Amino acid sequence: MSEEIVSDLMRAHIYRLAQRGERVDGRGLDEPRKLTVERRYVGTAEGSARAKLGNTDVLVGIKMSTGEPYPDTPDTGVLSTSLELVPMASPTFEAGPPRPEAIEIARVVDRGIRESKMVNVEKLCIKPKEKVWILFIDIHVLDYDGNLFDVGSYGATAALASTIVPAKAQGLGEDFPLPVEHWPVSVTFAKIKDLILLDPDLDEERMAEARLTVTTDENGDIRAMQKGLSGSFSFDEVKRCIETSQKVGRQIRPILQGS
Amino acid sequence: MEERGAALRQIVIPGEAVGGPGLKPGPGTFKSGDQILAAQLGVRTEHEGRVSIIPLNGRYIPQRGDAVVGEVTDLGPSHWLVDINAPYPAPLHATESPWRVEFGDTGRYLKVGDAILAFVLSVDEIKRIQLTMQDRDARKLNGGMLMEIAPTKVPRLIGKQGSMITMVKELTQTRIYVGQNGRIWIDGPEQGAAAAVRAIHFIEERAQAIGLTEAVRDLLEKETRGTGVSS
Amino acid sequence: MEDIEHIEKEMKLIDENGVRLDGRKFDQLRPIRIEAGVLKRADGSAYIEWGGNKVLAAVYGPREAHPRHIQDPARALVQCRYNMAPFSVSDRKRPGPDRRSVEISKVISEAFSSVVFKEQFPRTSVDIFIEVLQADAGTRCAGLTAASVALADAGVPMRDLVAACASGKIGGVVCLDLNKEEDNFGDADCPMAVVHGTGEIVLLQMDGHLTFDEFQKAMELSLGAADRLFELQRDALRRRYSVTLEEILRESPPPVAPPPEPEDRDFAPVEEPGPQDEAPPRDEDFGPEGI
């Protein structure tokens, strides 16, 4: 609709539908959009995946190089995640340095991957204190229809899972698959008045008063969380979101694993 | 296959010759020497010595008299600014509203986020637009829902003498306003409105298909069967 | 020249039989495929695979130009932003425009500025975005060729499609469409963009060393390639919309004699004031629809 605002009329309509457990695209409140993942999309990257969640479309590339470790973690590899709101993805994205929104999404995606120990960064040490593998996760948003937290995370996870460490080019032996040991799945909720909707599309996201992202691993344990926007959640709502994340996580995980 | 090939050949692309001397250039075309060339991707059509292009896509370009569905995005003491999905902002002056608005009192009648059905009052030589609501059909829209299709698909949705949109309204028992700007307001029982939305998306996607009218009728009859919504 | 690679040994880019490293002859293009209308949000879009290049182009507009002070009161601006994704090259590229991207953005903007009917949309901007997802030399030509399709897909009025191809010199031989190795180790590279119907050159750059004769050969190769590219562009646009003329005309009926009645106004031509020769006349009104 209008590029920036959701009309009052549509707000009322979306809320009315949601009160009956329905959404504009026919989904239930706890139902994510269709997720498709295409691995090894880009040959110049060590790993890559194009992920589409409904009409939100991102391409994630993994680049690896070697370098010095951080001084406080001298024998582990380095992970760095960034996200670009490419102007072609939405009339509201402008070229320029990353906005706080983009930085927040990148950091939350990063947290889910890092804290779940998806990539065993201890195995990415080449020579302690001197040389480690540096892993860049670049999320390139191509088409925007809401919920970059989840699709950014799904793209990154699928890309990491198909990454080959370019050891040969660095004279460090044969190439080997990036050691992936855990599977974080991010699930994001939008709160509209007293109702909570999973995987908000663009209009729902623009109407949301509060937002919650919960990242769980394959055991259902919580690895990362982020509450956003200026509204609030009750403790019960948070608990329900976590439970739903565990359940939906189990449905989504196989798609990311490529099975 | 043969037919499809012939059909595909009918789509013209910018720069393609669509007519020679003896024909006049219509919308979507331009003259180059004594040839007429297409300026947009579309379908060539000819009538009474004038060749035109029906574009397959394009932004909404306001014309005087167009009905438009818009959303108020800003207001000042004597006007509102309305988003009508055009390349230009569309102001609605207080004097063109259906109310007697005191200076500074505009917010009392329309606020940011309100949806309206208005008409394009004027478009000047440098494309400055003015809207008006001084028309018996103009109104603030309450209830219902909004959706959007590509403006170039609007004629298809309306149909010859309104036949297509009338069929949709009757079979779904809804009120529908189709703005020339591609924005559409639908109001009615939930089932009917949902069916109307699906039908409109169907029409937009298949705007160039054969037998569209029959297909839409089938779709709507299936959707509204047994739901209490009947024609 | 996207990447500076370390020269290890003498590389024979083209052998005695005129066969290049990837098996091509001097006048052969790499495999190309184009698809139109690949994104939902953008007004128009296209995707191109050209050899090892994967490039996405999208168009928004005409839309209000921001900030206000850059608006041109008489015409639309045509602004292109060319950008390479960080993972598009062997050595990761830091996000954000570098000087090379800024220059390429400028020359592509200028190329399209020459074909878009700008006077039809004063104070607006036609914004073109080119994202290189995977690079293998010739990205600006691939991007421009895709962007032309994206502009047509968006319905932006223009006088013709534009296609671009580079020719260069490798091992002393003038060749069409250099790939990454050829670009890095070759003697010259000359990208060129051509307006299809008229053959006007709207983008031309060159670096390296070419005699006048060599340049002429390079230009002929590129002009020939532009014709082949045009067919791919046209096919991509037609495939996007499979249509029957009959159905379009049946539902969008031919105009009735002017002046049109508001109640059942059909596709009626209106005598437009203003220059018919330079700019395309505007579309007609199909009538408002009420209760």
Q: Which of A5, A13, A24 sits opposite B113 (nearest CB)?
A: A5
Residues 6+ apart with CB under 8 A from C61: B59, B87, C43, C76, C121, C124, C125, C126, C127, C154, C156
Inter-chain CB proximity B146 and A7 less than 8 Å: yes
A112: helix, coil or strand? helix
Q: What pLDDT, in 10s, does the model give residues B117-162?
A: 999 999 998 889 999 999 999 999 999 999 999 898 898 899 888 9
Measured CB to CB, residues of chain A less than 8 Å from chain B are 1-13, 24
Rounded average pLDDT over B66-79: 95
Inter-chain CB proximity C134 and A86 less than 8 Å: no
Is the pLDDT at B72 greater than 70? The verdict is: yes
Q: Which chain B residues contact residue A2 at CB under 8 A?
A: 71, 73, 83, 85
Inter-chain CB proximity B15 and C289 less than 8 Å: no
Q: What pLDDT, in 10s, does the model give residues C161-220?
A: 999 999 999 999 999 999 999 999 999 999 999 999 999 999 999 999 999 999 999 999
- Those residues of chain A that have pLDDT short of 70 are 1-3, 259
Is the pLDDT at B7 greater than 60? The verdict is: no
Query: B118 near B68, Cβ under 8 Å?
Result: yes
Closest chain A C-alpha to B89 CA, distance in angstroms: 12
Q: Which amino acid is at A95?
A: A
Is the pLDDT at B34 greater than 60? The verdict is: yes
Instruction: For B153, name the nearest residue in chain C, comparing CA atoms only.
Output: C252
Task: Report yes or no: C219 at the B interface, CB cutoff 8 Å.
Answer: no
Residues 58-97 of B with CB under 8 A from A: 71, 73, 83, 85
Closest chain C C-alpha to B40 CA, distance in angstroms: 5
Inter-chain CB proximity A42 and C131 less than 8 Å: no
Long-range contacts of B101-107 (CB under 8 A, 24+ apart): B103/B77, B103/B78, B104/B77, B104/B78, B106/B75, B106/B76, B106/B77, B106/B78, B106/B79, B106/B80, B107/B75
Instruction: For C127, name the nearest residue in chain A, comparing CA atoms only.
Output: A88
Classify burial at A108, counting beta carbons within 10 Å of its beta carbon; exposed 0-12, middle 13-18, buried 19 or more.
buried
Residue C62 is encoded by which pair of tokens?
A: 């005409």
Task: Report yes or no: C280 at the B interface, CB cutoff 8 Å.
Answer: yes
Measured CB to CB, residues of chain A less than 8 Å from chain C are 41-45, 48, 55, 57, 59, 61-63, 65, 82, 84, 86-91, 95, 97-98, 136, 138, 140, 142-145
Q: Which of C41, C52, C83 sits opposite A89 (nearest CB)?
A: C41
What's the pLDDT score for residue A259? 57
**CB atoms < 10 A from the CB of B5, how many?**
8
What's the pLDDT score for residue B226? 56
Q: Please report which confidence band the pLDDT of residue B191 belongs to, taking 50, 70 and 90 as the band edges.
A: confident
Q: What pLDDT, in 10s, does the model give residues C91-107?
A: 999 999 999 999 999 99
Residues 87-146 of C with CB under 8 A from B: 115, 117, 121-124
Cis bond before residue C259 (omega within 30° of 0): yes
**CA–CA distance from A118 to each of A51, A74, C73, C91 (Å)?**
18, 19, 55, 24
**SS3 per residue for chain C:** CCCCCCCCCCCCCECCCCCECCCCCCCCCCCEEEEECCCCCCCEEEEEEECCEEEEEEEEEEEECCCHHHCECCECEEEEEEEECHHHCCCCCCCCCCHHHHHHHHHHHHHHHCCECHHHCCCEEEEEEEEEEECCCCHHHHHHHHHHHHHHHCCCCECCCEEEEEEEEECCEEEECCCHHHHHHCCEEEEEEEECCCCCEEEECCEECCCHHHHHHHHHHHHHHHHHHHHHHHHHHHHHCCCCHHHHHHHCCCCCCCCCCCCCCCCCCCCCCCCCCCCCCCCCCCCCECC
Query: A76 near A132, Cβ under 8 Å?
Result: yes
Task: Report yes or no: B143 at the A interface, CB cutoff 8 Å.
Answer: yes
Mean pLDDT value across chain C: 83
Could you tell me which chains touch chain C, where touching means 3 or more CB pairs under 8 A?
A, B
Residue A102 is encoded by which pair of tokens?
A: 């983009």
Q: Which of B85, B112, B185 sits opposite A5 (nearest CB)?
A: B112
Rounded average pLDDT over C77-99: 96
Inter-chain CB proximity B143 and A12 less than 8 Å: yes
Inter-chain CB proximity B61 and C44 less than 8 Å: no
Classify burial at C132, counting beta carbons within 10 Å of its beta carbon; exposed 0-12, middle 13-18, buried 19 or more.
buried
Long-range contacts of A180-183 (CB under 8 A, 24+ apart): A180/A118, A180/A119, A180/A120, A181/A117, A181/A118, A181/A119, A181/A120, A182/A116, A182/A117, A182/A118, A182/A217, A182/A218, A183/A116, A183/A118, A183/A157, A183/A217, A183/A218, A183/A253, A183/A256, A183/A257
Residues 6+ apart with CB under 8 A from A242: A214, A216, A222
Q: What does the alpha-carbon distance between residue C189 and residue A129 come to, in Å, rounded to a whole number?
A: 44
What's the pLDDT score for residue C8? 47
Closest chain B C-alpha to A58 CA, distance in angstroms: 24
Interface probe, candidates B81, B84, B117, B145, chain A, greatest A C-beta count within 10 A:
B145
pTM above 0.90, yes or no: no
Is the pLDDT at B169 greater than 70? The verdict is: yes
Inter-chain CB proximity B57 and C278 less than 8 Å: no
Inter-chain CB proximity B73 and A9 less than 8 Å: no
Instruction: For C81, name the nearest residue in chain A, comparing CA atoms only.
Output: A95
